[in-house]
Amino acid sequence: MDIGFKDKTVLVTGAVRGIGRTIAQAFAERGAKVFAADILSDELDGLFEDESFAGGGGITKLPLDVTDSEAVNAALQDIIAKTGAIDAVVHAAGGVRGLSAQPIEDVSDADWQAIFQANVTGAFNVVRAATPAMKKAGTGRVVIISSRAGLGVSLTGIQSYAMSKAGQIGLVRQLAHELGPFGITVNSVAPGFMRTSPDYERQWQSYDEAKQKAVMDRIAMRRPGQPEDIAHAVLFFASDYAGWVTGQTLAVTGSP
């Protein structure tokens, strides 16, 4: 199956690390004009500088706070002015925002909101800003990176992370129903456990050897996920092959 995105315009949020970075590169390798957005502007500055992509695509770096709706609106308007379109948006920003598990009675309002705002409000802001141009074009692809935590109990133990990932999955279903008549598909990829960022590496290192083994033993494939595993699922959802697939959450977890 040959999946290509030549001359397509794609926005990827959370593009500095792990999953988001690999997704941005995967689209560029297949010919897309990628706008790689992240709030971590210092880290973004050092990325993609010397990379060339066999498929003829390219990456434009875009400092962006997805929780700032005005900034998101302005970014989308600028992308559309430069390229004439927005063909796909992938929301990979968010995660646990450097937080760790605490008993619910110790969770502050600020900690609760930090994760919710990045994961759910960020996704809402990005899709809302992209929708008018996609409606006008009569086509579009939205992919939100949720988590296995949204389908069950989160290994992180963080209440707002589990809630926000379930919230993303609910948002995907509702938006798929709303936007389907306009030719826009909305889907989600739910990764299993992955050591793809400092937050998740810290979580992994907090386990003793027995717990690390137990985590791996619960995965049918007996290995943690890699960013490429998630990127390949995203490419499918964004491609013409998934033109009649919407409102779905694909669990990419190495297990049934």
Q: Give the catalytic positions in this structure.
A: 161
Displacement of CA 75 from its chain's centroid (Å):
17
In the sheet that holds 140-145, the strands lie side by side as 58-63, 33-38, 9-13, 88-91, 140-145, 184-191, 249-252
DSSP per residue, 71-130: HHHHHHHHHHHHHS---EEEE---TTTT-----GGG--HHHHHHHHIIIIIHHHHHHHHH
Phi, psi of 193 (to 5 degrees): -65, 130
Strand, helix or coil for residue 68: coil
Contact 156, 215 (CB under 8 A): no
The amino acid at residue 222 is R
Q: What is the largest CA-CA distance in the chain?
A: 54
Positive or negative: CA dihedral 8, 168, 150, 164: positive
The amino acid at residue 68 is D
